Amino acid sequence: MVFADLLFLYFFLPVCLICYFITRNATIRNLVLIVFSLVFYAWGEPVWVSILCVSALVDYINGRIIEKHPEGVQARLAVAWSLVFNLGLLFGFKYTGFFVENLNAVTGLKLDVPQIRLPIGISFYTFQTISYTIDCYWGKVKPQRNFMKFLMYVSLFPQLVAGPIVRYSVIAEEIESRKTTIKDFSEGFSRIILGLGKKVLIANSLSSVVTSLFGDAKSGYESIGSLSVLGTWYGAVLVGLWYYFDFSGYSDIAIGLGRIFGFHFDENFKYPFICKTISEFWQRWHISLSSFFRDYVLYIPIFGKRRKYGGLFLVWFLTGLWHGASWNFIFWGLYYGLFIMMEMMIGKKRMKKMPAPLAHFYTKIVIFLGFGIFYFESLPQLVKFFKGLIGLNGNALVDSYTANIFMGNIFLFIAAIFFSLPVIPKLREKAFEKPGSAYVFQSAGVVCNALILLASSLLLSGNTNNPFLYFRF
């Protein structure tokens, strides 16, 4: 089941809310969330619920072992088993085929490449349970003694299938005791509608334009070799905007749903395109993932020592690999690692001295090139993309095809640029400085929410397939 679906919006969610709020008993409310979360997850792939539950059970037991033997070898073995089990699951489902393909290419073997279907959300919930076990070992959180509460944490449907990666420490107190206020309801539903609008009104529209320019994986990206130079750059920018609105839209819905049930998840996106350095971009984009690798991987001793740049490239290699079993994702991760290393060598003070226009130009070029690397999973087509950026495909600077697509989607492009910047939050902040203006702004917000919900529902009524991009990761 997906959030951008009329069945979810007008049946599953209302029934879940009625069952949840009909009682004040915390144990029953937790049970309601567990049942609805497992139904949500099992809607398309019921067989994989067992993997989810086993993963939760393994790390629940690991936490209890650490609690009983905090200084003993048992605790270290529990952490090791958590890593082996969870990363083994992830490798088995996500990377086995990729590993066999490359083994065949290097050795000349002709082993059958297994076609293993990836359980939705496994990249997210395995990281959550790993972080829980490590935090228990480090003494950052108290191990959960109630398995049903821990299962609720792992399976919580707002963030289960595509993040954000919610650490146990963030919601540990709310698992034990929480309440939903009127403000939580209001801001939660507003956030859900905002995310729905990002996905349905903007991201889906941008995806259609990108496909008309580049093609897609199923068609072999057949258009990229014939695009003009400006058409290639335009497509790269649209890919970045599309991915932003799709994934940040999902995160908004997840955070909004969490608020309604009394959970306060950390922000996952903070207007990343206003960044002036690549390091800042990753402090604003998919924050839960970048902070996970920073906190649990960056300082791993490599060959017995903590190596500044070695740890950095390990983080970015794993960041790329996490996104998919394909070489373009690995190149994409190392690409960002290279620029962040360069910024580290230059130093924060010198980077801050860079003129703002130059800083924005530099970061946007790097970012949108990065999205091109991310988009083209076929290496030959990725080469065509880079050649197209500088005219080496033999095509013109601009052509009528690109011009027609640009003019036909000019308002969509302007809207995407506008809403990717913190303009409305700034206006809201100024409006709330004056009581009268605040009332007008709130009233306008209610009207806008109603219009966004109506428009999104109408579009969804004619389209039953609205998967979020990060479902496949």
CA 234 to chain centre: 23
- Burial classification of residue 284, based on how many CB atoms lie within 10 Å of its CB (0-12 exposed, 13-18 middle, 19 or more buried): middle
CA 200 to chain centre: 17
Establish whether 286 is a catalytic residue: no
Asked if residues 122 and 90 have their Cβ atoms less than 8 Å apart, the reply is yes
Whether residue 164 has a cis bond before it, omega within 30° of 0? yes
Q: Which two tokens stand for residue 246?
A: 């799709």
What crossing angle do the helices spanning 168-176 and 147-155 adopt, rounded to 10°? 130
- Burial classification of residue 457, based on how many CB atoms lie within 10 Å of its CB (0-12 exposed, 13-18 middle, 19 or more buried): middle
Asked if residues 198 and 253 have their Cβ atoms less than 8 Å apart, the reply is no
Q: Element (H or E) spanning 308, and its range?
A: helix 308-323
What crossing angle do the helices spanning 356-375 and 229-260 adopt, rounded to 10°? 90
Gap between the Cα atoms of 42 and 120, Å rounded = 10
Report which residue type is found at 375.
Answer: Y
Q: Which two tokens stand for residue 361?
A: 């130009």
Candidates 69, 286, 323, 360; catalytic one? 323
Gap between the Cα atoms of 173 and 191, Å rounded = 23
Give the distance between the most distant pair of CA atoms in the chain.
74
Residues annotated as part of the active site: 323
